[in-house]
Each structure stands twice: as C-alpha cells, then as structure tokens.
A and B are shown apart, each in its own frame.
Chain A
Amino acid sequence: MKINLRVWRQKNSSDKGGMKSYVVNDVNPDMSFLEMFDVLNEQLIQLGDEPIAFDHDCREGICGMCSMYINGRAHGPLHGTTTCQLYMRHFKDGETIVVEPWRASAFPVIKDLVVDRTAFDKIIAAGGFVSVNTGQAIDANAIAVEKAKAEEAMDAAACIGCGACVAACKNASGMLFTSAKVSQLALLPQGSPERKVRVLKMIEAHDEAGFGSCTNTGACEAECPKEISISHIARLNREFALASLD
C-alpha cells in the first residue's frame, strides 16, 4: 500500500506549528498504524530529518499513552479502539490520512503529536481516591458489594485516561474522565464516606485546569476507546447536586 500523510509538526510548545506532507510506500496492511509511523521515522532519520514525535508505550490498548487525532477522529475511524490497535488494513491504498495531536487548551502541545495531559493527574490528586493508608484495611470479604454495582464500577474503572473524550468534545470538556472515577468510587461502599467532598474537589480541579463544560453532545462516549458511558456523567451530576445542597 501507498499512504499519503498530512501530519502536524510543531517543534516545541512555543512554536506555531503546521501541517506537513509525507508519503510512505510499501505499507503492509498487517502493520499497525504506529508501526507505519515507525517506518516513516526510520526514513526521516536516514534523510537527516527529525522524526515525528508521538506518544506510545504498551501498544496493546491499555496504557492510554497513544493519542492521535486521525482524519478528524480521536484514535481514528474504528469504534472502541486506541490508535495502537488500529491496523493499516482499515485504510485504502493511496489514501491521504490527516494526523493531528489532541486539541485542548488543558492539553498543551509539547512537540508534534505529543501533548501534556498532567491536568488529568491533578483531577485525581484532588479527590479521585479512597483515603486509606497502607495497613489500615479490614479483611476484604468484610465488605460485601452487590455484584451488579461492582460490575458497573468496573465499567467506569476501565477508563485508560487517554484524553480522547477531551479531544472529541467541542468544549474540550474532561467530564467523561472525571465522572468515570467519581462514579466508580460512588458505586462502592469503600468510596462512600468521601463521596461529597470528592465530587466537589474533582470538579473544582477540572475547571481550574481549563477543561470546558459538558453540554451532553455524547461525542466523548462515541470516541472513547473503552466505551465508557455518559451515564457516569449523569451520576456525577447527581453526586454534585447532592453535595452542593449540603
């Protein structure tokens, strides 16, 4: 296969940046999307150009590091898939593919396709935890949890923190990410004592980081590689309302 690429190049956070064209020949349909970038980067190194910087690590869809905006969609055209799980057979020979970084003021570009997502860490640090020190725990089976609730908590906990929800949202809202953690811990008895202060602090950190508000378009759910449901945002809203009433 022959692939034409239009890729965002930006030297550093203060550079203006712009799109640049590349051609990759001899693409094997069984290559992953990131392996196609590996091949291109090897070519650039041989030509004496600087390779394209992009984030990636586990390459099996779980670490949440990869983050490409492909043909106008976070993680590309497939549903429930991270960029690293995308294969070239999903594209056509001769196709032009446009690749950009996540666009959000809370995720400033570091270089090329690499963005800074530490704002997510700050939201967790504000309240996305249960305050239990090592050694304080009671026997695990002393806490019974209704199976359906445990499953729903796990659905929320499956979030990989990649930021696709923010990139897909016209408001660059981080609400799906924030709600997944609020929801997981609100569903479990272990998280109950702190649920009010948790939701207030996490929302405060979310807003401070510069994420936008949620206007319920559902774009986040549609692009989430782990298919996290926006029903968690509904739960967050309820938690927030209850906590605010106090």
Chain B
Amino acid sequence: MSLNSKIPSGPLAEKWTHYKEHVKLVNPANKRKLEVIVVGTGLAGGAAAATLAELGYKVKAFCFQDSPRRAHSIAAQGGINAAKNYKNDGDSVFRLFYDTIKGGDFRSREGNVHRLAEVSTNIIDQCTAQGVPFAREYGGLLDNRSFGGAQVSRTFYARGQTGQQLLLGAYQALERQIGLGNVTMYNRHEMVELVIIDGKARGIIARDLVTGELTKHFGHAVMLATGGYGNVFYLSTNAMGSNVTAIWKAHKKGAFFGNPCYTQIHPTCIPVTGDYQSKLTLMSESLRNDGRVWVPKSREDAKDIREGRKTAIDIKEEDRDYYLERKYPSFGNLCPRDIASRAAKEACDDGRGIVASGLGVFLDFADAIRRLGVDVVKARYGELFPMYHNITNEDPLKMPMKIYPAVHYTMGGLWVDYELMTTVPGLYAMGEANFSDHGANRLGASALMQGLADGYFVAPYTVGNYLSSEIFTKAIPTDHPAFVEAENAARERMNRFLNVKGKTSVEEFHKRLGKIMWEYCGMARTEAGLTKAKGLLKELREEFWRDVRVPGEFNSFNPDLDKAGRVADFIELGELMVRDALNRNESCGGHFREEYQDAGEAKRDDVNYRYAAAWEFKGVEAEPELHKEQLEFENVELQVRSYK
C-alpha cells in the first residue's frame, strides 16, 4: 500500500481555502441520518463532537473519565499560540508556520502546518466568543506573552490555567449539544476494540467502566482523539489514565503508526524522589526566563550535596557550572526543550547531579531575587513557587529549585493524511493522537492550538467529504458478525488477564516497562541500547502474560483490569518505538541518537531520513512493515537548528 497524503495542489497559502471550496458537502437532511463516533473529549475530541453536532450529525462521544471536562488537556498551563499579530510585532501566519516547521526540525508537512497557522486565529475568536476568560490588558483587549523562545508575542493565556479554560469552553459547547439531544455522551467508557466492516471503520466496542459490561456502537465514521502515549514511560507529566489503547487497537486493525519514537522530554519537572512515585509534575517553562540552571563543577561537591553534607549555598560562585550559559551563550537558559533536557542528562551522567538519585540539577533564582527583589519574583511566578514548596517541602526563594527532565508529550501517533484520515477508511485521528503537525519536536503553546484546530476547524469539514459518499449506508445493527467478533475478542483478552493469576501486579509491570523505555529509548538513544531494549521488552511481554495478577471480576468496576489492558498495549507500543528509533539513523528534535551528533548537537540526515515513518502492524511477534512518506519542502529551506 502506498501512502497518499492528499495534500491539495497549488500555492501553500491557498491549499486550505481551495480544499474547503471544493470539498463535497452533505445536505442537512442527510446529516441527521449520519452517525459519528468521537472517542476522547479533550480539546480535539470535545471540540469535534460539539462542532459535528452543531452541523447536524448524530454524535456519540466517549471518555474514560467521569466527565468530559476532565480530559488531560485541562492540565496545560502556559498558553495557546495564534498568529493574530495583535502586538504589531511583525507576526504573521507565515511566521507561525515557519517557526513550527523549524521547531519540528523539518520533519512535518508544509501543507498541514500552514493550515494550522491559518486557523490559529479563528480559534482565539471562537474561544473568546464562548466566554473563555483570556488575560486582558487595561484597555480591555487581549493580552499576549512570548513563550518558548519565540521572537514575537503570540501566546494567549488564562493565568496558568490556559488548558483548563480552553477545555471548559469546548466542554460547555459539548454539554450544550448534549442538552439539545444532538450528542449522546458516554462517561466512564473506554474503547477496547475498533470494528471494521468491508474495509471501513464502522464502530467500536467500549467497556462501561462502572458495570464492566462491553457495549457495541455503530458509526458511519470513527474519530479518535485519545491523546498521547507518554505513559509508556510510566513516569511522565501525563494524567494517570492517559493511555494508548484506542489508537493501538486501531493500529492493530490496519491504521499505520507515524513516527512513534518522537517523544518530547520537558526540561523543568520536579525530580523523582522514590519508587512509590506515581507521576511527575511539570514546573512551567517560563521559570527559565529568570532561573539559572547549574550543577557543581566538581563531582566531589555534587556528592557532598547528594549525601547531605553540603547545600547549594555552600558552593561558591566560581565552583558552579552554569552549563546552558556556557554551552549556548546566545540562548543560554532559554534554549529549546530538547536541548536543555539533554544538557541536564549530560551533567548528571557526568556524576554531577544534585539529588539523592543523582538525577537532578539546580534552577536558581538567587540572581533574579538580587536584581528584582523578592516581591517581583514572587509576583512573576505566582502559583509556581508555592506549588513547588508544597510538593518538595523546600522554599525556592531560599534554596534553588531542583529539577530534572520528564516525558511530557508525544509527537508521534496514528499516521493521517491531510484530511486527518488514517490508513483505515472512515477512521480519523485528531490532536496528540495523530502524528501530523509537530514533526520531531513540538514548540511550547502549540499543543492546545493543534488540538482545537483539528477539532473545531479541520476534522468537521474533512469528515464531511467522506460522509458525503456514505449517505446511502444505513446504520448497521450491532448484531452484525463483525461487532460480535470484536466484542468476543475483547472479552477473551480481558478474561485472559484475569485467568493468569500470577504473582506480579499490573503496576509493577508498568514500572518495569517505564524503566526500560527511559533507560534505552529516552533522552539519548544508541543502537546497542535499543537492540538490548528490544530483547528486554519481548521478555517483559512474555512474562506479563505468564505472571500478571489482576484482582477482581470482569463484570464490575475494576480499575486494575482496565489498567492491565492499557499496560499490555503499552508494552507492544514500546517495542514499536524502539524499532522506529533503531531505524532512524539520525538525530532530530526529540529523537537523539548518540552516534549521530556534532559535538553534542543533533545531526540530521536529510538525504536518507527526510521522511515520516509509517509502520504497518503485521502481528505481535512479526516485524512491522515500514512505509515512508517523503517530506517535500517547497517553501522553506532546510537548515541546521543552532542555538549557540
């Protein structure tokens, strides 16, 4: 099968307009007869479900949380980019497009990214109209800030709760449609199988997480907006429930998986303190505007700090290594996420980490406090200092913060074409669940933008193009053999989990998976390490099916059974990530292969790897097949990203 990205022809800036003007439409009477399933109710799924219902389709929406308002989009802090140029500082759609392409290390599609930049302005209008309380200036107009090292101020924000406010806007639009009877909402339901009939996605099997019952649902199209898979690393900034299961089931039924190895590691998170730790907490990137990152120059000093004989303030100025300022004099502490993360790892690998585990560096505000006064610093970072203080029991105004990188976002996901359709006809993927717009590295404040772009402004139109040819398809009854077969497969699998009755808990397997992934497929990867991980993951998978212990019963509220399914899928995904990382013999964005570097900097190979990798599932034990989508750059020049 050859990949067709379906990028419209014509000049870059006219592709989306041209597409919209020529796309096939569905008349209102027919829309009422067409059913669409949306799985996931974060920014992408919530926005899409609401918009599709407004357009007149019959929508069924699913989320595993107890309410669609709790999807993990809610945790995004910083903001959302849009090329409004309200600050008159020279921003434009093209600049946002260019920054996103470059930030992604030239591993995304020009056509998709330009469309994203175009609709970014509509998102701000839409959200404001919904009553999203964006920050405002004294004149009553919207405020912006610069974020993630951008040269223009294009980030809109609502205090440190931008994701929450945008999600509540989408949630309220969705609830409005639920109230009007246009959307049927299934809370506490998790998709456990995709149903394909005659080559087209036609529905899902979902587990009612309260009763444990499996339920069958038909749709003329199925749209997945189920987020990222960062929890394959066990510890990440993702919510505890975030999982890969929906897109992994789709992958196993024929949807190609794009660039699984592209992972974003965020440099400023609170370090791991013990084995009991369940998740990592992000401290906003904005802290690097005033905080200086350092470790001691000598390993002895670092050891003394680790073992409690010294503290940060005992280390004299000349004995400190402000390594980001030293290595990247022009960007210093503000260099991009992937670069700052790798530098922290390098310092700790050198034996100069400053927390008990060895994995932590200082983020020091002493200079800023001397320069600006304690009140200014406190006001500037409002909620963040008390939050850090509460978690760590240390006051960052008196002692430097201790930070370390943590898994934050996954750029990879289901491969989709320009219409956000996967390689399975009628199956769509939106938001973090697809692979499309961020290439090998995502810029700050771009995840919210992409989720809402896909959900409000892209998918509702592109799915119409597909549904226009489905108007003669009657709703397929769910006693169709394909539904029954999918349901049986899901039930058998869950019964298998329950029947192993081994000794090791699901949680323990998840932890072990995370350790393998972080060690060998984390911030820096090598051929030898990845090859080793491949073997370890296979062993882990076999042991899981031999020795897992899942308590409770099938037909009940049983979070451990739900989690068993998620972890089993994560292990298989891990194997694919390792294969993808092994295949990509270059370093780009979030994917750093130690063999491919120029004095510590990522070395891309545009001759051999200027493609998106789309993997086809061939069986759990079989090698997946690699398909390549060559990336064409007609409007930008490929460059080396340098921040020195």
User: Which residues of A approach B to under 8 Å, CB–CB?
Assistant: 12, 28, 30-32, 34-35, 38-39, 42, 44-46, 48-51, 53, 55-60, 62-65, 81, 85, 87, 89, 110-111, 114, 116-118, 120-121, 124-126, 128-141, 143-147, 150, 153-154, 157-158, 160-161, 184-185, 188, 190-191
Q: A121-B175, A134-B54, A141-B141 are known contacts. Are A62 and B47 too (CB-CB below 8 A)?
A: no
The 7 closest A-B pairs by CB, nearest first: A144-B140, A125-B179, A137-B129, A129-B172, A140-B128, A137-B125, A154-B133
Name the A residues within 8 Å of B51 (CB-CB). Answer: 133-134
Name the B residues within 8 Å of A150 (CB-CB). Answer: 133-136, 140
Cα distance A143–B140 when bound, in Å?
A: 8
| Residue B276 is within 8 A (CB to CB) of chain A in the complex | yes
Closest to B158 in A: A154
**Can you list 9 A-B contacts with CB-CB less than 8 angstroms, sorted by A residue number?**
A53-B557, A111-B556, A124-B175, A133-B51, A137-B126, A140-B128, A154-B133, A154-B158, A161-B70
| Residue B528 is within 8 A (CB to CB) of chain A in the complex | no
Other-chain contact of B390, A55, A87, A114, A141 (Cβ < 8 Å): A87
Q: A114-B557, A134-B456, A190-B128 are known contacts. Are A45 and B551 too (CB-CB below 8 A)?
A: yes
Cα distance A35–B274 when bound, in Å?
A: 11
Q: A87-B390, A124-B172, A124-B175 are known contacts. Are A60 and B281 too (CB-CB below 8 A)?
A: yes
B559 pairs with A53, CB closer than 8 A: yes
Cα distance A85–B391 when bound, in Å?
A: 7
A117 pairs with B67, CB closer than 8 A: yes
Other-chain contact of B240, A57, A130, A136, A191 (Cβ < 8 Å): A57
Name the B residues within 8 Å of A120 (CB-CB). Answer: 67
Task: Mark each residue of chain B from 455 to 466: 1 if its CB lies under 8 Å from any CB of chain A, else 0.
Answer: 011001000000
Closest to A36 in B: B276
Task: Mark each residue of chain B from 119 to 144: 1 if its CB lies under 8 Å from any CB of chain A, else 0.
Answer: 00010111111110111111111100
A145 pairs with B136, CB closer than 8 A: yes
Cα distance A155–B421 when bound, in Å?
A: 40
A188 pairs with B131, CB closer than 8 A: yes
A57 pairs with B67, CB closer than 8 A: no
Closest to B71 in A: A63
Name the A residues within 8 Å of B130 (CB-CB). Answer: 129-130, 132, 190
Cα distance A121–B50 when bound, in Å?
A: 15
Name the A residues within 8 Å of B128 (CB-CB). Answer: 137, 140, 143, 190
Closest to B179 in A: A125
Name the B residues within 8 Å of A35 (CB-CB). Answer: 276-278
Other-chain contact of A144, B141, B390, B551 (Cβ < 8 Å): B141
Cα distance A203–B456 when bound, in Å?
A: 30
A110 pairs with B210, CB closer than 8 A: yes
Closest to B505 in A: A45
Number of interface residues of B (CB under 8 A): 78
Name the A residues within 8 Å of B139 (CB-CB). Answer: 144
Closest to B552 in A: A50
A116 pairs with B172, CB closer than 8 A: no
Cα distance A205–B357 when bound, in Å?
A: 52
A129 pairs with B175, CB closer than 8 A: yes
Count, A-B residue pairs, CB within 8 A: 210
Cα distance A117–B457 when bound, in Å?
A: 31
| Residue B164 is within 8 A (CB to CB) of chain A in the complex | yes
Closest to A116 in B: B66
Other-chain contact of A128, B175, B278, B460 (Cβ < 8 Å): B175
How far is the CB of A224 from the nearest CB of chain B, in Å? 15
B560 pairs with A59, CB closer than 8 A: no
A118 pairs with B279, CB closer than 8 A: no
A64 pairs with B70, CB closer than 8 A: yes
Closest to B279 in A: A59
How far is the CB of B389 from the nearest CB of chain A, in Å? 11
| Residue B86 is within 8 A (CB to CB) of chain A in the complex | yes
Q: A59-B279, A137-B125, A150-B133 are known contacts. Are A117 and B66 too (CB-CB below 8 A)?
A: yes
Name the B residues within 8 Å of A131 (CB-CB). Answer: 176
| Residue B171 is within 8 A (CB to CB) of chain A in the complex | yes
| Residue B441 is within 8 A (CB to CB) of chain A in the complex | no
Other-chain contact of B142, A85, A128, A140 (Cβ < 8 Å): A140
Name the A residues within 8 Å of B134 (CB-CB). Answer: 140, 150
Other-chain contact of A63, B72, B126, B133, B136 (Cβ < 8 Å): B72
| Residue B315 is within 8 A (CB to CB) of chain A in the complex | no
Closest to A132 in B: B129
Other-chain contact of A32, B135, B278, B457 (Cβ < 8 Å): B278
Cα distance A59–B240 when bound, in Å?
A: 7
A42 pairs with B507, CB closer than 8 A: yes
| Residue B74 is within 8 A (CB to CB) of chain A in the complex | yes
Q: A50-B551, A57-B239, A125-B179 are known contacts. Are A118 and B67 too (CB-CB below 8 A)?
A: yes
| Residue B241 is within 8 A (CB to CB) of chain A in the complex | yes
How far is the CB of B73 from the nearest CB of chain A, in Å? 10
Name the B residues within 8 Å of A132 (CB-CB). Answer: 126, 129-130, 173
Name the A residues within 8 Å of B172 (CB-CB). Answer: 124, 128-130
Cα distance A34–B508 when bound, in Å?
A: 17
Name the A residues within 8 Å of B222 (CB-CB). Answer: none
- Candidate in B75, B187, B456 with the most chain A CB atoms within 10 angstroms: B75
Cα distance A111–B566 when bound, in Å?
A: 21
A58 pairs with B556, CB closer than 8 A: no
Name the A residues within 8 Å of B173 (CB-CB). Answer: 129, 132, 134
B171 pairs with A65, CB closer than 8 A: no
Cα distance A109–B357 when bound, in Å?
A: 41
Name the B residues within 8 Å of A133 (CB-CB). Answer: 51, 54
Closest to B185 in A: A121
Name the A residues within 8 Å of B125 (CB-CB). Answer: 137-140
A146 pairs with B178, CB closer than 8 A: no
How far is the CB of A142 from the nearest CB of chain B, in Å? 9
